[in-house]
Structure 1
Amino acid sequence: MQDFDYAVPIPLPVWQDPQSNPVLLKTRDGWEVILACWTDEAEPTEYVAVLSFQRAWAVRAVALEEVPLEMRGKRTRSDIYRLEGSLWLSSLEATWQALYSHWPSLEHDPDHHYWVQGHDSRVEVIASDFSVERKPNEEYANILPLR
């Protein structure tokens, strides 16, 4: 059962290795998701894709193979998804308001529910936005099962 209305594909500028899984990494400044990548010839690359989430304040990881998503928009060979009408996001926002109603409202970009699918697991992140950067495999050799 979906806990959201539909998914909007967001193309990545890299080809995520379809046989690997995303790695969730807590950093000093927030949350990152690390993806192994392929070349156009379906060979391992010398880099990983690092998705850095801005103002990320909730994450979860689920060890399930791909769940069918109701899509709005065209998929490419490598996407992540923004989930619209997310019950998880609504629930978290309601909890935040109940716990911290005495805090003044802060003006900021709206938060989104992002879904990063791997071969047999996924990572979900609540954040305002994300960026993608290529970094050498060596920087993540201690956490990724790279070739």
Structure 2
Amino acid sequence: MKKDFAYAVELPYWQAPNDDIVINSKGDSLTAFFQIWSSPAKYSVFTGIFDFSYVWAMRFERNKDLSYYIPREDDNFHACYWIVPESSWLEKLKAERRSFFPDWDKYDVGEYTHYIIQSDSFYVEIIAKDIKISRKKLKDVF
């Protein structure tokens, strides 16, 4: 597999394509809320939720070069997120941590994954062990 090549994973809900997400973090958990469309330009009563657990790192990038994402023209997804299976960013984080704590991986069990979610004009990249995607009726998020 090519280094830093991301593939799309279909979201179970239609994330409103031109809306910002709202991010909350506490400890090593990160939650991102997104608006859902029930049909084109018609908002659902539900709010979509990305719940990341065991978060190691996060970064925002505006105007990101999409050259390492699989072209989306070939799928029929309304909305998606991405996974980077061979992430140079994750490798760099592991090497840096190993330089300070050589045996860290004996105590921090489980696999980390490089995820990418989208806001209106930002890509949010997250290194975490787990993601859960759900929806709820929520008030006053946006």
TM range (shorter): 0.7 to 0.9
Runs of 4+ in 1 over 4 A off after TM superposition: none
* Larger displacement relative to structure 2 (90-99 or 102-111): 102-111
When residues 104 and 42 of structure 1 are mapped into structure 2, their CA distance, relative to the original with a 3 A threshold, is closer
Q: Distance between the aligned counterparts of 2:29 and 2:37, measured in 1? A: 26
Amino acid at match of 1:48: T
What is residue 137 of structure 1 aligned with on the other side? 138
Partner of residue 99, structure 2: 98
* Offset, 1:116: 0.5
Q: Describe the superposition over 1:88-123 as per-residue Cα deviations: whole angstroms up to 9, x where unpaired.
A: 111011111111225461363311100102221111
Q: What corresponds to 1:15 in structure 2?
A: 14
TM-score by length of 1: 0.80
The separation in 1 between residues aligned to 2:64 and 2:102, in whole angstroms, is 38
Gaps of 5+ in 1: none
State the AA in 2 paired with 1:16: Q
- Within a 5 Å distance, the mapping from 1:76-91 to structure 2 comes to 76-91=77-92
The AA in structure 2 aligned to 1:100 is F
What percent identity do the matched residue pairs reach? Answer: 22
Amino acid aligned to 1:27? K
Q: Structure 2: which 5+ residue stretches go unaligned?
A: none
Contact preservation (8 Å) 2:57, 2:127 = yes
Does structure 1 conserve the Cα–Cα contact (< 8 Å) formed by 2:58 and 2:125? yes
Report the counterpart of residue 120 of structure 1 in structure 2.
121
